[in-house]
């Protein structure tokens, strides 16, 4: 028991160190830089009901890339997105994250990804603020930033003032915005957005376009499927699917 | 790094647990219906069979346990379905936190809202079935432990049928055979207690089944969810 005071001292020092590390503003940038986007498709193929939607698709997405997946309805855009996020096993070929096949690199990959799909991922019985805090918790976001980050994200999607209202009472566009607040909330380099503009008003669309462009400009990467024409943004890559097994990559 | 990782995993677990409790409490009717179902079935038995206390007490362990089992089965269909429909399940599977941990958090919340209340209600309903008050504790304990096992086992089935519309019957067909050992030993505990025999061996077996289910089910359910979700 003689070492009691010594141990309390050590424990206190460690706690102080940990706090200092957590509050260090440089740390976020460090993490952003530390994670580089390198997502590749190798000979990807998707078969649905004995029909090949696409085959032998080759591409790679890196830092700063803004990639658009285009094609008519039913051409396999969403299937491709699901393969890229690791939700769907490719019928042939593989998706690589930083050179490793997805199932093996799952935790690292999902720690670098924000995904927004057809489903909003928003709990209707919860308030926007409760939804956001859950995203942070399952996204392993920083403790210290969390409260401020939540409010910032709400403000950025124009939902300040609605934070305490259950999502079920909000409009369809506002519900989408709660889901899109993830983009502001989580500090992730790769965004994969499947039809992000559904139900969003004109101003919201412009803001989102701007946000995606800025994210890629800062060194992040984004993959977007949309029928909507981006007015102000140039895509660095395009993956076009024609729905009959053919594709082109630019 | 590892301690920090552990810390954030714990936070993810806690938030998911609290979120699920909150959702259940806000959807009061959904939460209450399995409990009301449990109470109704148990109430109907004395009406349909006999009010004779000596006869009734021999059936009591079986009635309580079968009713609890069906109530758990009824509640399980909702375990993942809502999350699947609104896309939060997708977000859980795409989280850097392992899916089994989040699934375990959901199961724990489900037990608190759908399993534990059954155990707490059992003395009241036992009274109606002429159970002597000396076995109330054992009954509640067996139901608390048993319902947790039933939820863990049933969650695998619920995860597999999450993409199926009206998967309730399919779920029952898949899960019921696996429920039989739990039912035998669970009801057995109460029967032994009624006869005044030492219940610890049966309780230990019930506990062992719980431990095995706890070790396997979160992992299997998470795998099943990925499978069902990718279809």
Interface pTM, i.e. ipTM: 0.87
List phi, psi (to 5°) of A51: -135, 130
Which pLDDT value is given to residue A139? 86
| Dihedral of the alpha carbons of B218, B219, B225, B230, in degrees to the nearest 10 | 170
Which pLDDT value is given to residue B147? 96
Bridge partners of B62, per DSSP, are: none
Which pLDDT value is given to residue B76? 92
Collect all residues with Cβ–Cβ distance below 8 Å to A184 and sequence separation of at least 6.
Answer: A149, A152, A153, A156, A157, A211
Does the pLDDT at position B14 exceed 80? yes
| Top-confidence residue, A241 or B153 | B153
Confidence grade of residue A16 (pLDDT, cut at 50, 70, 90): low
Which pLDDT value is given to residue A145? 66
> Which ranges constitute the DSSP H helices of chain B?
2-26, 28-48, 53-76, 78-86, 88-93, 99-110, 116-128, 136-160, 168-195, 200-230
Which pLDDT value is given to residue A18? 58
Chain B residues with CB-CB distance to A124 below 8 A: 86
Confidence grade of residue B127 (pLDDT, cut at 50, 70, 90): very high
Bridge partners of A114, per DSSP, are: A191
Closest CA to A62 of A188, A220, A247, A206: A220
Query: In a 10 Å sphere around its CB, with 0-12 CB exposed, 13-18 middle and 19+ buried, how is residue B180 labelled?
Result: exposed
- The alpha carbon of residue A140 is apart from the nearest alpha carbon of chain B, in Å, by 6
Residue B157: how many other CB atoms lie within 10 Å: 25
Indicate if the alpha-carbon torsion angle A134, A136, A140, A142 is positive or negative: negative
- Are A129 and A164 in contact, with CB atoms under 8 Å apart? yes
Could you give the strand order of the β-sheet that contains A247-249, starting from the edge strand earlier in sequence?
A113-116, A190-194, A221-225, A66-70, A237-241, A247-249
What is the spatial distance between Cα B8 and Cα A141, in angstroms, rounded to a whole number? 8
What is the spatial distance between Cα A74 and Cα A108, in angstroms, rounded to a whole number? 31
Does the pLDDT at position B207 exceed 90? yes
Strand-strand pairing, A190-194 and A221-225: parallel
Confidence grade of residue A89 (pLDDT, cut at 50, 70, 90): confident
Secondary element (H or E) of residue A133: helix A128-138
Within A80-176, strands assigned E span: 92-97, 100-101, 113-116
What is the spatial distance between Cα A131 and Cα A161, in angstroms, rounded to a whole number? 15
Within A25-85, strands assigned E span: 38-48, 51-62, 66-70
What is the spatial distance between Cα B189 and Cα B204, in angstroms, rounded to a whole number? 10
Task: Tell me which chain A residue has its CA closest to the CA of residue B91.
Answer: A121
Which pLDDT value is given to residue A204? 85
Least CB–CB distance from B86: residue in A87, A89, A123: A123
Which pLDDT value is given to residue B168? 82
* A22-69 confidence digits (pLDDT tens): 544 444 444 444 568 889 888 888 888 888 888 888 888 988 888 988
What is the spatial distance between Cα A45 and Cα A38, in angstroms, rounded to a whole number? 20
The 8-class DSSP code of residue A187 comes to -
Least CB–CB distance from B12: residue in A119, A140, A166: A140
Which pLDDT value is given to residue B78? 87
Secondary element (H or E) of residue A186: none
| Top-confidence residue, A208 or B2 | A208
Domains and CATH numbers, chain A: 35-112+223-250 (3.40.50.300)
Chain A residues with CB-CB distance to B87 below 8 A: 117-122, 179
Closest CA to B149 of B224, B214, B203: B214
- Cβ contacts from A onto B, under 8 A: 85
Closest CA to A122 of A69, A88, A161, A171: A171
Which pLDDT value is given to residue A24? 47
Which pLDDT value is given to residue A247? 77
Does the pLDDT at position B133 exceed 80? yes
Q: What's the structural domain count of chain B?
A: 1
What is the spatial distance between Cα B60 and Cα B146, in angstroms, rounded to a whole number? 16
Does the pLDDT at position B213 exceed 80? yes
Least CB–CB distance from B102: residue in A88, A118, A138: A138
Average pLDDT rounded to a whole number, residues A120-148: 85
Confidence grade of residue A104 (pLDDT, cut at 50, 70, 90): confident
List phi, psi (to 5°) of A59: -165, 165
Q: Tell me what the pLDDT averaged over chain A comes to.
A: 82
Closest CA to B25 of B142, B117, B136: B117
Residue B18: how many other CB atoms lie within 10 Å: 16
* Token couple for A207: 């803001």
Collect all residues with Cβ–Cβ distance below 8 Å to B155 and sequence separation of at least 6.
Answer: B76, B79, B80, B103, B107, B110, B217, B218, B221
**B96/A139 Cβ within 8 A:** yes
Range of the domain at B71: 2-230
Coil/strand/helix, residue B2: helix
| Residue to substitute from B7, B13, B90, interface A, most A β-carbons within 10 A | B90
Would you tell me the crossing angle of helices B53-76 and B136-160 to the nearest 10 degrees? 30
């Amino acid at each position: 028991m003689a070492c009691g005071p010594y141990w309390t001292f050590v424990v206190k020092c460690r706690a102080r160190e940990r706090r200092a590390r957590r509050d260090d503003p440089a740390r976020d940038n460090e993490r952003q830089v530390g994670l580089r986007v390198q997502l590749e498709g190798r000979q990807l193929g998707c078969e649905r009901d004995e029909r090949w939607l696409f085959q032998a698709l080759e591409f790679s997405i890196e830092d700063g890339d803004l990639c658009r997946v285009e094609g008519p309805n039913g051409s396999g855009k969403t299937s491709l997105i699901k393969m890229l996020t690791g939700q769907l096993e490719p019928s042939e070929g593989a998706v690589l994250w930083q050179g490793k096949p997805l199932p093996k690199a799952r935790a690292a990959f999902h720690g670098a990804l924000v995904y927004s799909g057809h489903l909003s991922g928003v709990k209707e019985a919860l308030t926007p603020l409760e939804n956001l805090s859950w995203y942070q918790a399952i996204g392993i976001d920083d403790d210290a930033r969390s409260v401020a980050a939540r409010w910032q994200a709400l403000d950025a999607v124009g939902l300040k003032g609605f934070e305490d209202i259950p999502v079920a009472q909000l409009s369809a566009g506002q519900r989408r915005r709660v889901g899109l607040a993830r983009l502001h909330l989580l500090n992730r380099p790769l965004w994969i957005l499947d039809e992000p503009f559904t139900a969003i008003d004109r101003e919201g669309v412009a803001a989102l376009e701007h946000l995606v462009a800025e994210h890629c400009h800062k060194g992040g990467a984004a993959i977007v499927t949309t029928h909507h024409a981006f007015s102000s943004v140039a895509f660095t890559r395009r993956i076009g699917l024609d729905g009959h097994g053919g594709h082109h990559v630019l | 790094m590892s301690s920090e990782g552990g810390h954030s995993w714990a936070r993810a677990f806690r938030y998911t647990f609290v979120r699920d409790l909150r959702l259940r409490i806000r959807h009061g009717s959904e939460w209450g219906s399995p409990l009301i179902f449990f109470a109704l079935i148990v109430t109907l038995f004395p009406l349909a069979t006999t009010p004779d206390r000596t006869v009734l007490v021999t059936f009591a362990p079986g009635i309580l346990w079968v009713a609890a089992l069906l109530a758990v089965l009824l509640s399980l269909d909702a375990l993942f379905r809502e999350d699947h429909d609104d896309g939060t399940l997708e977000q859980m599977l795409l989280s850097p936190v392992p899916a089994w941990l989040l699934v375990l958090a959901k199961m724990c919340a489900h037990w608190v809202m759908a399993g534990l209340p059954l155990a707490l209600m059992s003395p009241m309903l036992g009274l109606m079935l002429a159970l002597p008050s000396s076995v109330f504790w054992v009954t509640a304990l067996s139901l608390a432990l048993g319902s947790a096992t039933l939820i863990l086992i049933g969650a695998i089935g619920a995860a597999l049928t999450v993409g199926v519309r009206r998967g309730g019957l399919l779920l029952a067909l898949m899960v019921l055979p696996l429920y039989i050992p739990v039912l035998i030993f669970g009801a057995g505990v109460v029967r032994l207690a009624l006869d005044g025999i030492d219940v610890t061996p049966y309780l230990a077996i019930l506990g062992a089944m719980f431990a095995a289910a706890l070790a396997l089910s979160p992992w299997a359910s998470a795998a099943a969810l990925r499978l069902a979700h990718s279809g």
